Structures are given as structure tokens and as C-alpha cells.
């Protein structure tokens, strides 16, 4: 799914009106119906009674949506209070039409100063329709006072299209509605996916309003959202004529004294992702634990007991994928080993954890030898070690894209919406996953999954994107069954089968 800019969305809006024989006011009605349907599905009742609804409207089309939504909710027997916040003189044409339609059946509060703003009880549901994608500067005056009043109310806040004050695709400042829910029209907006905006976005959904698909397909963008349909396209169901040789042979180099569990997690992830064969290379002291935990894996033992100091021959292209990093440690001999491996390796590798840290600490020597199209899987701290500190989410995105373009690698930056950047400078945001997954070992599992997929001849992009999606989906299934609180990395592994099965089932239906 594409993520478009506010400017492109405006063009898309106009194109749809022109090409699809729909008037602007009817498109606004479609958007308002889509929002209201979502609202009605949620219900928002308390003790079997509908909660009071307060709608705050601006003067443009976002405000117009608010007025239409107020009318639709009145029709559904909600008790609605509507307030138009008069921060300027001019109004949009579709705002005017919806204003007239609502005014016929319902009093509208006009707020030009703070005392006009209605008091909001804490059990209310507030619909924020002050500003949408047309916001282009900091909110001030009466509109700012309305935002502050909404934020102070303790009520449930729902943003129409986007929280007022939040710019759709650049850094925001000033007062911003702290929405509990955001209902974005048609496509997600970049701002919804960035960690620092979490408190303004809440949980969000994109609802379709039937905007022109041809325009969307042709629109240039470098930002994408990896949803189910996207993962589905990448996923390759197995043929009945396949055998274990068809799914490649992965090599995982991992583990050090005290961190052998990370190797176990990574190997387990790789096997569950369907690697035909998987050899783990680890220090001798990890042998018993690995073979006891995972008899399905083959083991290549290091020359050293406590850390990795060498690696098996990769000359004959025996391994269809190589992953390195989980629990690796940073011993000087491990560094020497990694240096040699990078010199020798001819194929894209999956590089995680201490392998990233070692590369970050020795960039001049190591970075140029990383094979093209390799996949780094850092968490934000590891990424910072690699590229330095950035002050905002937008600056971090720019740095992420530039790093991938410069070094011709993929970077999967882990987080709430993990971001996979490509050598072309594109970013793919993940749709799956939950806060319960921010716990020990989940990253090792992800590295294993991606290595396992890479070994089966998925391209590096496909392996990283599908791996990221499936990892999050398995985590979501685990959280649904067991809750987020005590979720562990091994729960993710346990639900990987179900996660793949959902992709498989859907693929069979197509």
C-alpha cells in the first residue's frame, strides 16, 4: 500500500472528482459515512447507553466532514453537541453546504472566543474535525484553545483524517490533539507511522472512500505500508514436488558465552521460516544446549569454547544464505572473524546485533566489504551507533534512506512500525506487531526468519519484508492468545506456523 503526501492526496481528491463522476460534496459524504460506520462498529456506549458526542469543526473540508458526521450520528440517536470554531473568516463551499444541512435540525455552537467553547464531560467522545490534511502552519488563537480544551477533557478523542495540529508528512510544532483514535481517509499518512507521533495518533485505521485507484497506482512515492495484501503477493506457497533441497541451506553464525540462547532463538526462527537445512556455527560450549533444544539443526563447531573465532568454508556456495550476529559478543577474535567473513562473502547476508555493533565500531575497515543487498536488522540504538544521532523521526528517515543508498544495503529498523529501507531509498513500514514484542530474543527470532527465507531463494527485499510482516503477525497471534504483558520471544516462534498458515490459506483462495 502506498503512502502519499498531503499534496498528492489533494490531487487524488481532485482527480477522483473529475474522473469518477462524483461531486466534491458527495465525496465528502462518502468520507463521513466511512467514518461514521467505523464509529458505529465501535459503538462507544457505557452501561448500555450511548456516550455523549462532541464534534469540533474547523472551517475547511475537515470541518465539513465533522458537520456531516454530526448529522449522521444524530440520525443514529447519539446525543451530539456541535461546535464550529471560527478561527478565520473564510469557509470552504462543502463546509457551507453541510453547515446549512445540519443547522436545519440541530443547534450549532459558534466559538470565536474561549468562553464559547462547550465544557466536555470526561465520559464524552470527542470528534476532532478542526484541521485535516490542509494544515500548513502552527495552530493559534481560538483553534489552539479548542485543541487544549479537548486534550484536557479526559474524554476519548477521535481524529477525523488526522489529529489537528499534526502535519501529514513533515515535522509539526505547537498544540496538537492527542487522539486516542485516528481514522485516516483511504491511505495511511507518513506522520501516523513515526514513533514520536504516537501520542497524537493513538490507534489508527485507514478507511476506504473509493478514491481513484489508477491515480494511486501511478503516483510516485518512496514510502509504502506492508499490509496483508502486500505480504500475500510475496509469499510463495510450497509445491507438492518440493523436497528439503528446494528450500536451501542456511548458515547462522551466532552465540557466545552467556548468550547461547540467542543462537537457539535465531536458529528456531530460521527453521520455522522453512529453511530446508540450517547449520549453526557456534562456540563449542553452546553445542549441548543447541542440539538439545533443536535437534533439527546441524552444528558447525567453532575452534573456541566461548566465542566465535572462525567460520566454516563458504567457498563452494554451499550455503544459500548466511546470517550473523545474535548473541555474538564483541571479542577481538570475533571481530577478526567477521572481517574475514565480509572479505570472502559474495552473497547478501543478514547482519544483526553485535555484528552490527562491530561494523559500527570499525566502519572504515568493514562497511565497504559488506556484500551488496545485505540486510541489517538494527534496533534504534544499534542504528544510532551505525549512523550517529538524529534529532527527529524525519531526520532519522532521511539518514536511513541515505545509508541504504550509499552502501547499497537494506536496513530493517526495528520499532513500533518497523521500517525497511532499500538501496533505492524507499521505506516500507510494517503493519504487524505489538508493544509486547519489545522483549529479549525477539530480534534474534527475526534474524533467523529472514535468513531462513533468504535461503529459500526469496530475494533480499522479499525475505526482509515478508520476514518483518510474519514476525509481527506471529507476535500479534501470541498477544491475542496470551496477552502482551508476559509475551516472550519463544511465543512468537510458537505462533509462526499459524502466521504462515493465514498467508497460505489466503493464497489458496486467490
Ligand X SMILES: NC(=O)C1=CN([C@@H]2O[C@H](COP(=O)(O)OP(=O)(O)OC[C@H]3O[C@@H](n4cnc5c(N)ncnc54)[C@H](OP(=O)(O)O)[C@@H]3O)[C@@H](O)[C@H]2O)[C@@H](O)CC1
Interior/surface letters 405-432, b for 16+ CB within 10 angstroms, e for the rest: eebebbbbbbbbbbbbbbbeebbbbbbb
To K ion, the closest distance from the beta carbon of 132 in angstroms equals 5
Q: Which does 128 bind (CB under 5 to 8 A by kind): K ion, ligand X, none?
A: K ion
Least separation in angstroms between CB 25 and ligand X: 9
* 200 near ligand X, judged by CB under 6 A: no
Q: Which of residues 332-361 bind K ion (CB under 5 A)?
A: none
**Cα 101 to Cα 95: distance, rounded to the nearest angstrom:** 10
Q: Does 469 bind ligand X (CB under 6 A)?
A: no
The yes or no reply on residue 28 touching ligand X (CB under 6 A) is yes
Residue 278 binds K ion, judged by CB under 5 A:
no
Query: Of residues 6, 159, 375, 489, which one binds K ion by CB under 5 A?
Result: 159
Selected binder of ligand X within 52, 58, 202, 441 (CB under 6 A): 58
Residue 266 interacting partner from ligand X, K ion, none (CB closer than 5 to 8 Å by kind): none
- 382 binds ligand X per the rule CB under 6 A: no
User: Smallest distance from the beta carbon of 132 to ligand X, in angstroms?
Assistant: 2
Rounded Cα gap, residues 160 and 128, in angstroms? 6
Give the residue from 42, 73, 53 showing the smallest Cα distance to 155.
53
| Spatial contact of 458 and 236, defined as CB atoms under 8 Å apart | yes
- Label residues 253-270 b or e (16+ Cβ within 10 Å = b): bbbbeebbbbbbbbbbbb
Known binding positions for AMP: 414-418, 443
Within 10 A of 363 (CB to CB), how many other CB atoms are there?
Answer: 13
Question: Which of 397-406's residues contact partners 24+ apart within 8 Å by CB, and which partners?
Answer: 397/194, 397/427, 400/427, 401/222, 401/425, 401/426, 401/427
Closest contact distance (angstroms) between CB of 160 and K ion is: 5
Which phi and psi (to 5°) does residue 229 adopt?
A: -60, -40
How many residues touch ligand X under the rule CB under 6 A: the total is 30
449 contact choice in ligand X, K ion, none (CB below 5 to 8 Å, kind-dependent): none
Asked if 57 contacts 83 with a C-beta cutoff of 8 angstroms, the reply is yes
- What residues are designated binding site? 61-65, 128, 132-138, 161, 164, 262, 327, 379, 414-418, 443-444
Is residue 11 involved in binding ligand X (CB under 6 A)? no
133 is a contact residue toward K ion (CB under 5 A): no
- For 307: left if phi > 0, alpha if psi spans -120 to 50, otherwise beta; the answer is beta
Is residue 8 a contact point for ligand X (CB under 6 A)? no
- 159 interface partner picked from K ion, ligand X, none, CB below 5 to 8 A per type: K ion
Cell of 35: 467514518
Q: Alpha-carbon torsion 229, 169, 428, 198, what sign?
A: negative
Contacts of 26 (CB under 8 A, 6+ apart): none
Stretch binding ligand X (CB under 6 A), from 42-50, 63-71, 354-362, 371-379:
63-71
Residue 274 makes contact with ligand X by CB under 6 A: no
Partner touching 164 among K ion, ligand X, none, CB below 5 to 8 Å by kind: K ion
Q: Does 27 bind ligand X (CB under 6 A)?
A: yes
Nearest-approach distance from CB 67 to ligand X, in angstroms: 10
> 126-165 mask for ligand X (x: CB under 6 A)?
-----xxxxxxxxx---x----------------xx----
Which residue shows C-alpha cell 494511486?
A: 216
Using CB atoms within 10 A of its CB, is residue 213 exposed (0-12), middle (13-18) or buried (19+)? Answer: exposed
Q: Which residue in the set 3, 4, 25, 31 belongs to the binding site for ligand X (CB under 6 A)?
A: 31
If binding means CB under 5 A, how many residues of this protein chain bind K ion? 5
Which window, 37-45, 61-69, 259-267, 367-375, contacts ligand X (CB under 6 A)? Answer: 61-69
DSSP string, 462-475: HHHHHHHHHHHHHH
Residues lying near K ion in the complex (CB under 5 A) are found at 128, 132, 159-160, 164
Residues lying near ligand X in the complex (CB under 6 A) are found at 9, 13, 27-28, 31, 58, 60-65, 87-88, 92, 131-139, 143, 160-161, 185, 209, 211
Amino acid at each position: 500500500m502506498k503512502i502519499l503526501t498531503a499534496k498528492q492526496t489533494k490531487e487524488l481528491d481532485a482527480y477522483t472528482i473529475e474522473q469518477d463522476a462524483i461531486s466534491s460534496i458527495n465525496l465528502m459524504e462518502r468520507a463521513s459515512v466511512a467514518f461514521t460506520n467505523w464509529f458505529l462498529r465501535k459503538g462507544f456506549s457505557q452501561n448500555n447507553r450511548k456516550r455523549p458526542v462532541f464534534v469540533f469543526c474547523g472551517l475547511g473540508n475537515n470541518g465539513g466532514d465533522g458537520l456531516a458526521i454530526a448529522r449522521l450520528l444524530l440520525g443514529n440517536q447519539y446525543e451530539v453537541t456541535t461546535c464550529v470554531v471560527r478561527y478565520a473568516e473564510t469557509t470552504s463551499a462543502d463546509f457551507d453546504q453541510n453547515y446549512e444541512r445540519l443547522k436545519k435540525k440541530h443547534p450549532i455552537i459558534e466559538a470565536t472566543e474561549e468562553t464559547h467553547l462547550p465544557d466536555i464531560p470526561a465520559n464524552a467522545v470527542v470528534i476532532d474535525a478542526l484541521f485535516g490534511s490542509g494544515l500548513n502552519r502552527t495552530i493559534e488563537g481560538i483553534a489552539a484553545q479548542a485543541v487544549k480544551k479537548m486534550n484536557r477533557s479526559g474524554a476519548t478523542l477521535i481524529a477525523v483524517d488526522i489529529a489537528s495540529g499534526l502535519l501529514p508528512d513533515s515535522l509539526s510544532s505547537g498544540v496538537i490533539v492527542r487522539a486516542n483514535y485516528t481514522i485516516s481517509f483511504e491511505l495511511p499518512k507518513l506522520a501516523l507511522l513515526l514513533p514520536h507521533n504516537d501520542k497524537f495518533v493513538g490507534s489508527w485505521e485507514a478507511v476506504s472512500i473509493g478514491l481513484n485507484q489508477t491515480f494511486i497506482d501511478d503516483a510516485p512515492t518512496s514510502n509504502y505500508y506492508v499490509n496483508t495484501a502486500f505480504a500475500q503477493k510475496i509469499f510463495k506457497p510450497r509445491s507438492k514436488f518440493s523436497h528439503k533441497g528446494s528450500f536451501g541451506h542456511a548458515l547462522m553464525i551466532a552465540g557466545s558465552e552467556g548468550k547461547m540462547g540467542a543462537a537457539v532463538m535465531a536458529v528456531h526462527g530460521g527453521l520455522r521460516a522453512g529453511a530446508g537445512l540450517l547449520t549453526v556455527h557456534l562456540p563449542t560450549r553452546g553445542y549441548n544446549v543447541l542440539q538439545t533444544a533443536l535437534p533439527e539443526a546441524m552444528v558447525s563447531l567453532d575452534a573456541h569454547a566461548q566465542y566465535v573465532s572462525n567460520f566454516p568454508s563458504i567457498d563452494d556456495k554451499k550455503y544459500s544464505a548466511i546470517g550473523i550476529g545474535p548473541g555474538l559478543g564483541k571479542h577481538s577474535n570475533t571481530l577478526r572473524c567477521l572481517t574475514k567473513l565480509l572479505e570472502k562473502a559474495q552473497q547478501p547476508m543478514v547482519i544483526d546485533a553485535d555484528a552490527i555493533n562491530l561494523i559500527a565500531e570499525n566502519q572504515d575497515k568493514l562497511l565497504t566489504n559488506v556484500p551488496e543487498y545485505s540486510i541489517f536488522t538494527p534496533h534504534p540504538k544499534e542504528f544510532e551507533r551505525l549512523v550517529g544521532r538524529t534529532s527527529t523521526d524525519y531526520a532519522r528517515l532521511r539518514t536511513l534512506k541515505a545509508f541504504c543508498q550509499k552502501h547499497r544495503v537494506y536496513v530493517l529498523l526495528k520499532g513500533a512500525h518497523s521500517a525497511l529501507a532499500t538501496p533505492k531509498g524507499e521505506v516500507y513500514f510494517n503493519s504487524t506487531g505489538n508493544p509486547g514484542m519489545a522483549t529479549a530474543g525477539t530480534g534474534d527470532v527475526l534474524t533467523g526468519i529472514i535468513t531462513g527465507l533468504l535461503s529459500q531463494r526469496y530475494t533480499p527485499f522479499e525475505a526482509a519484508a515478508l520476514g518483518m510482516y510474519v514476525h509481527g503477525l506471529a507476535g500479534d497471534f501470541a498477544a491475542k492468545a496470551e496477552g502482551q504483558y508476559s509475551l516472550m520471544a519463544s511465543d512468537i516462534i510458537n505462533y509462526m506456523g499459524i502466521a504462515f498458515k493465514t498467508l497460505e490459506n489466503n493464497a489458496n483462495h486467490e
